[in-house]
Amino acid sequence: MPRILEQSGYRSPRLWGVDLFRASAERSSLLSAFLRAREWSMDATTAFLTQTLEWRTDTQRMLMHSHPDVSFPDDSICTASHLCNGQPRTYVILSLGSVSREALK
């Protein structure tokens, strides 16, 4: 994770409210989602996550130049676990912030 953060230039330790430096169920769920999206390929997942963080860095920089009073709102991710038919199930719930229309113009 530190190498990905360094390569991407991403300065925040958090993505969607998840601390990327601290081992947690939320971080595991987030990283699992990236792995599933790239069919469990570590190389493809590393590239995908790096590109995601680069995009957030570039977009934040662009917003700061065009709208200095605008920033990404706090996003959050949480997990809920329970048994379903005797099998453990984990649900990931994302509450993504919104960016105003003015920031996108």
**Please, are residues 94 and 16 in contact by the beta-carbon 8 Å criterion?**
yes
The count of structural domains within the chain is: 1
Between the alpha carbon of residue 8 and those of residues 24, 37, 39, 50, 105, the distances in Å are 22, 19, 22, 5, 25
Domain containing 63: what range? 2-104
- Classify 31 as helix, strand or coil: helix
Taking the C-alpha atoms of residue 37 and residue 1, their distance in angstroms, rounded to an integer, is 17
φ, ψ for residue 13 (rounded to 5)? -80, 0
CB 90 within 8 A of CB 79: yes
pLDDT tens per residue across span 48-88 = 999 999 988 888 777 666 665 555 555 555 556 667 777 77
pLDDT band at residue 25 using 50, 70 and 90 as cut-offs: confident
Lowest mean pLDDT among 15-19, 25-29, 70-74, 88-92: 70-74
